[in-house]
Structure 1
């Protein structure tokens, strides 16, 4: 199998000109002079250095030299991007990711990158549905009956009123009406399946409709369709699909960060879930569910450890009207259907009830949620520890989750929430004086998150504390426990060993000099309810043992060598008369 990966992302100026010459020269041979004349007709496409442009296309195998003439002049032919990619049967995660990388290059700067998620989901949905159709056809020898049974078994991709198929292959087979048929099929699937009703919203919100309808994007869209048509994922493991889906989110995490959204590294989520040790038949909530990753990892954990993930009730709420449907698709791509995701503001309009476990990374320092916004009927009982200032809702999130908690919660907050004064300090005071819920605080290393270099901290709350943990908090300083991120140079990551150490320390509720410290509530009171981890557990500084006699001997030796060198230099200078 050969797979084209290219040497890196193609810049938009290259893609624009590539598609322009594709329209003109596909199936023909041409030289650099032909390209110069053609692009020169349009001031927006004109280039000063045609050789550099053709050299780039050649490196990416988008043009091929077919003949070298007199004076080394070259004739080229142009290749379609998708023709450079071959995928063998039994598509793997790496192959899907290569497809997604190429797709990302194609749409860069043209449309929201998240349309790739919609395309991947539609292709996977269609492949799995058609596998069901073929299975039922073997039994019935009747295609319409097979379509009907597949509708009941999976999702409705066959409109039984119009007798029209809306799977991927049917939507893309007519190249002349491709754009219209594709959008129509997506919208129809959305209307026929209540659980997929948000697809229609995504098609509109992500700009897919306007992208498809723009004449300049005809070739790009056709290449996208050809690209995804190369993969068949009917037999792919759900984890393969889900991992590919999450790869897109992580690949663009830096651009998400610039928009203020948070992408939580998977290893951090996995550590939080190990600490919670979520059990089968549990309710799990994330009131700031984002892409749904927290809920997905919880399902994976219970499925792997207890072989019983389907007994969970997964619930989330998300304020962003694009993230909400995308999180549902993410869950489905992982083969998870036991979920409910609400759209809305959790702080002012929570749509969930009490739950066993809560795991969340809410927006840090969310502003605009002061007393005037939340001191209203229906919310007063939730925020009974006190109101926050307008600059940060961190401790409102904590109160919201504690109000709806039955057992344990793991919540990531900005490190500053642990020690800021004023109203936040008063909330921490009320928490310690009135409840015995706070069990542990884990200071994370810096540079784990794409959107901030700040370290962040995980707060563990437990309504079923063991007796030995009553009125005590375990502070864990894991700020130095990390490895360099394997892919992003400026980031750090938690290794398996790092996670094991942190989880074991929490489980054993033990102290280790410079790493963990058990602090009783009376001490916290004396420290004026300052939860700053470094106040209680400060990493040991490694003292370097110095052998004074040996160091002095080495210094004397160096000085002797320097003296000899100076004498040599003086001798050279005398010889040349200086």
Structure 2
């Protein structure tokens, strides 16, 4: 599939999504449309896999007569293999296209094509098919945000049925081209939709999506010098897009790990993983509060990326002073700002050969108190901080504050200095948002990888210099962005003023003569 065809697919899906626009908020109809796309994906993947098994028998999955003895035998055999390979199972009658056909032509009040009950049962059956298997946790309550009986879809069951049948009918006409394994076309389109929803979700967008350009920077930072990764972890994984972005920068990622507090976003992350072809055994996404109830204790990861909620509140309970994640620092991050609690959590999970990069508000660079104490420990005692990168303001959805990226390594190749990059002035301005361009990303990454010093852009600051600045990491302290103004020729300006005075004198004389001829008083 070409780039043009991919863009057509993205636009088709967005147009279908807009079928529900006006009936509910963006974040609500997002859950429905992405859920239906995911159901269609599962169906097509199931049919493709089953047809491969049945090829020797010269029949297709859809042709199986489910109620016959032979049909039941086929289904039982395919079910067993599908649960092992795919992690779920759908019967031929439960395939997306079959449901869409049954709903086609539905008129309000006409019951023969009523599909709501069947559809709800099928979505439940997908989950039930995994019960007692390895994939059970990955499919648990995956469709719980798709309430087909919500009055937001329509006041009456018939009205809701008509809307859903229309959406399924439009989706059914789109070929996801799953057999084209060389490119993750549908995965890219799904990411496009998530980004589109984020752009219209206001403050809520930050809960589930990191702008693609920022994701690319984080991903390229943590994959520097790596072609394969054993594992990648995101403690605030949102929709999982950042984890998947890391995978695009290397040939192979062994396993994906993440944790997410918001239940709806957690469901979206699992769907995103499966839809991108990540086998259920290769990802472990958990739903809980990362700081209060960490789910991956005892594990370390080769790459860690995160865009945590900026200056979030957390309990900072005194009991955490004995928690292995925080105990060595002697101080906990303040309860009103959890930024360094996330840093400490991530450091704890970072492998000795790993790299972590996270986005933080600028205040994390210079605030005092406990945060200054933690910064000092990370730099002076551990020497883990590798780079600080200033980003432009207004590049995140839902907030205009300037942000930075902090990069940490436990085994640094350049332990004698820390690289500071001021990329805050390198961006493209749009109507409501600023964007990092490809050239901006390349400049950041090249400077980081080569540890280059560029005038008014990047500098390597010694640990001694940071100590002299009391571990204040405010970027302007190290990267001098001052641009001297052009020299002013005072003699030329004085000469110009004298010439203007002479011209004004001549004009006054001429005006006085005109007033005299007219017999009126001069204005001066």
Aligning the two structures, in what range does the TM-score lie when normalised by the shorter sequence? Answer: 0.7 to 0.9
Residues 563, 180 of structure 1: alpha-carbon distance in 2 compared, 3 angstrom cutoff: farther
Contact 2:102/2:115 (8 A) holds in 1: yes
Deviations 1:131-166 (A, max 9, x none): 44445554322343776548625464434xxxx621
Residues 569, 408 of structure 1: alpha-carbon distance in 2 compared, 3 angstrom cutoff: farther
Name the counterpart of 1:358. Answer: 304
Deviations 1:525-559 (A, max 9, x none): 22111111111113232523556677677777877
CA distance in 1: counterparts of 2:291 and 2:237, whole angstroms? 13
Contact 2:229/2:302 (8 A) holds in 1: no
Contact 1:263/1:449 (8 A) holds in 2: no
Report the secondary structure of 1:328's partner residue.
helix
Name the counterpart of 1:188. Answer: 125
Name the counterpart of 1:97. Answer: 11
CA distance in 2: counterparts of 1:192 and 1:565, whole angstroms? 95
Name the counterpart of 1:170. Answer: 98
CA distance in 2: counterparts of 1:575 and 1:184, whole angstroms? 98
Report the secondary structure of 2:341's partner residue.
helix
Structure 1 residue 312, shift from structure 2 partner: 2.0
Do structure 1's residue 527 and structure 2's residue 472 form an aligned pair? no
Report the secondary structure of 1:165's partner residue.
helix
Which of 349, 357, 363 lines up with 1:416 in the alignment? 363
RMSD across aligned positions (CA):
3.2
Deviations 1:507-534 (A, max 9, x none): 2223222211222222222211111111
Report the secondary structure of 1:480's partner residue.
coil
Deviations 1:424-464 (A, max 9, x none): 11111222232011111101111111121112111111122
Name the counterpart of 1:117. Answer: 34
Contact 2:149/2:160 (8 A) holds in 1: no
Report the secondary structure of 2:285's partner residue.
strand
Do structure 1's residue 475 and structure 2's residue 475 form an aligned pair? no
Contact 1:413/1:456 (8 A) holds in 2: yes
CA distance in 2: counterparts of 1:558 and 1:240, whole angstroms? 68
CA distance in 2: counterparts of 1:444 and 1:458, whole angstroms? 7
Name the counterpart of 1:24. Answer: none
Do structure 1's residue 242 and structure 2's residue 179 form an aligned pair? no
Deviations 1:286-313 (A, max 9, x none): 11111111110111111xxxxx32x521
Q: Map 1:46-445 onto structure 2 (within 5 A).
A: 92-110=6-24, 112-113=28-29, 114-142=31-59, 143-144=63-64, 149=78, 152=82, 154=86, 156-159=88-91, 165-175=93-103, 176-193=113-130, 195=135, 201-211=141-151, 214-215=155-156, 216-235=159-178, 239-259=184-204, 261=207, 263-276=209-222, 277=224, 278-302=226-250, 308-309=251-252, 311-337=253-279, 338-352=282-296, 353-372=299-318, 374-375=320-321, 379-385=323-329, 386-406=331-351, 407-445=354-392
CA distance in 2: counterparts of 1:428 and 1:392, whole angstroms? 14
Name the counterpart of 2:109. Answer: none
Contact 1:100/1:116 (8 A) holds in 2: no
Which of 405, 412, 417 lines up with 1:458 in the alignment? 405
How high is the TM-score relative to the length of structure 1?
0.73
CA distance in 1: counterparts of 2:285 and 2:443, whole angstroms? 34
Residues 219, 421 of structure 1: alpha-carbon distance in 2 compared, 3 angstrom cutoff: same
Report the secondary structure of 1:185's partner residue.
helix
Name the counterpart of 1:10. Answer: none
Contact 2:46/2:90 (8 A) holds in 1: no
Contact 2:428/2:437 (8 A) holds in 1: yes
Contact 1:366/1:392 (8 A) holds in 2: yes
Residues 520, 181 of structure 1: alpha-carbon distance in 2 compared, 3 angstrom cutoff: same
Contact 1:447/1:454 (8 A) holds in 2: yes
Structure 1 residue 416, shift from structure 2 partner: 0.5
Please, which runs of 5 or more residues in structure 1 have no aligned partner? 1-89, 303-307
Residues 575, 222 of structure 1: alpha-carbon distance in 2 compared, 3 angstrom cutoff: farther
Moved more, 557-566 or 388-397: 557-566
CA distance in 2: counterparts of 1:512 and 1:573, whole angstroms? 67
Moved more, 313-322 or 98-107: 98-107
CA distance in 1: counterparts of 2:215 and 2:321, whole angstroms? 32
Residues 549, 135 of structure 1: alpha-carbon distance in 2 compared, 3 angstrom cutoff: farther
CA distance in 2: counterparts of 1:448 and 1:253, whole angstroms? 12
How high is the TM-score relative to the length of structure 2?
0.80
CA distance in 1: counterparts of 2:470 and 2:423, whole angstroms? 23
CA distance in 1: counterparts of 2:403 and 2:207, whole angstroms? 15
Contact 1:186/1:200 (8 A) holds in 2: no
Deviations 1:489-510 (A, max 9, x none): 1211111211121111112223
Structure 1 residue 568, shift from structure 2 partner: 8.2
Deviations 1:379-411 (A, max 9, x none): 245442120211101111111111111121111
Structure 1 residue 373, shift from structure 2 partner: 6.2
Residues 537, 140 of structure 1: alpha-carbon distance in 2 compared, 3 angstrom cutoff: same
Please, which runs of 5 or more residues in structure 2 have no aligned partner? 65-70, 104-112
Relative contact order, higher structure (CA 8 A, sep 6+): 2
